[in-house]
């Protein structure tokens, strides 16, 4: 779910850039071609790389307590992942509009160091840390091969990374011990000693 939620959150952030009738397509360039034929203009988003990011969040489980201070669950450490997207634009109206769309996408991404809370969906809205945005990061491999592999003409693209936290489900505590049974070591007669019962804590 987190990958779908990350893409949907980016889609929400980019929505104001679109002209009337425009749309955001989320998928590979190979699938985009048939979609674009029915849309005059829009922005394409393709998640093409996922990497885990080493963090200092710690590796220990922690107690989840209720208002009375009782342990009601155990939570594992969050793990951070870097999602790399390729973004491109298209317009059937004019090349100028296509460039304007790409420029608008760059500006709105550069204006945010992290996704605004109003754009977050699902578990991202409850994450352990912010969903950090980095437009046009250095060091990423060129995505140019995506177009040739799909048999499409190369288009100008913008790469953007989104770092998100994956928080594991909490685990319920072990049930409380209600009764304890203790048996003593065998006696010289070979019989076991008496059984003692008592209430556990």
Domains and CATH numbers, the chain: 2-169 (3.30.2000)
What percent of the chain has a predicted confidence (pLDDT) above 90? 32
Phi–psi pair at 149, nearest 5 degrees: -65, -30
Would you say residue 126 has pLDDT above 80? no
Of the pLDDT bands very low, low, confident and very high (cuts 50, 70, 90), residue 26 is very high
Q: What pLDDT score was predicted for residue 201? A: 47
Q: What pLDDT score was predicted for residue 10? A: 94
Q: What pLDDT score was predicted for residue 170? A: 55
Torsion, Cα of 79, 82, 119, 158 (10° steps): 180
- 141: Cβ–Cβ under 8 A, 6 or more apart, which residues? none
Beta bridge partners, 26, equal: 45
Would you say residue 62 has pLDDT above 60? no
Prediction pTM value: 0.72
29 or 175, which is more confident?
29
Q: What pLDDT score was predicted for residue 165? A: 83
165 or 173, which is more confident?
165
CA nearest to 64, candidates 181, 166, 153, 171: 171
Task: Characterize the bridge pairing of strands 41-53 and 79-91.
Answer: antiparallel
CA nearest to 136, candidates 102, 160, 110, 155: 160
Residues 140-171 as b/e (b if ≥16 CB within 10 A, e otherwise) read beebeebbeeeeeeebebbbbbbbbbbbeeee
Beta bridge partners, 23, equal: 42
DSSP helix/strand/coil, 123: helix
DSSP helix/strand/coil, 63: strand
Task: Characterize the bridge pairing of strands 157-166 and 79-91.
Answer: antiparallel
């Amino acid at each position: 779910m987190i990958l779908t939620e990350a893409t949907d959150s980016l889609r929400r952030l980019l929505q104001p850039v679109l002209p009337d009738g425009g749309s955001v397509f989320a998928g590979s360039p190979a699938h985009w071609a048939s979609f674009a034929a029915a849309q005059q203009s829009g922005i394409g988003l393709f998640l093409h790389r996922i990497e885990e990011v080493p963090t200092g969040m710690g590796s220990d489980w922690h107690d989840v307590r209720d208002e009375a201070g009782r342990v009601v669950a155990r939570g594992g450490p969050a793990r951070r992942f870097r999602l790399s997207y390729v973004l491109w634009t298209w317009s059937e109206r004019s090349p100028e509009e296509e460039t304007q769309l790409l420029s608008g996408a760059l500006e709105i991404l550069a204006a945010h160091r992290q996704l605004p809370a109003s754009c977050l969906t699902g578990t991202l809205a409850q994450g352990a840390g912010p969903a950090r945005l980095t437009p046009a990061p250095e060091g990423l491999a060129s995505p140019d091969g995506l177009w040739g592999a799909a048999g499409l003409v190369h288009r100008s693209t913008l790469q953007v990374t989104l770092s998100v936290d994956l928080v594991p489900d909490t685990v319920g505590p072990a049930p409380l011990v209600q009764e304890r049974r203790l048996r003593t070591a065998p006696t010289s007669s070979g019989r076991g000693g008496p059984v003692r019962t008592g209430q556990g804590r």
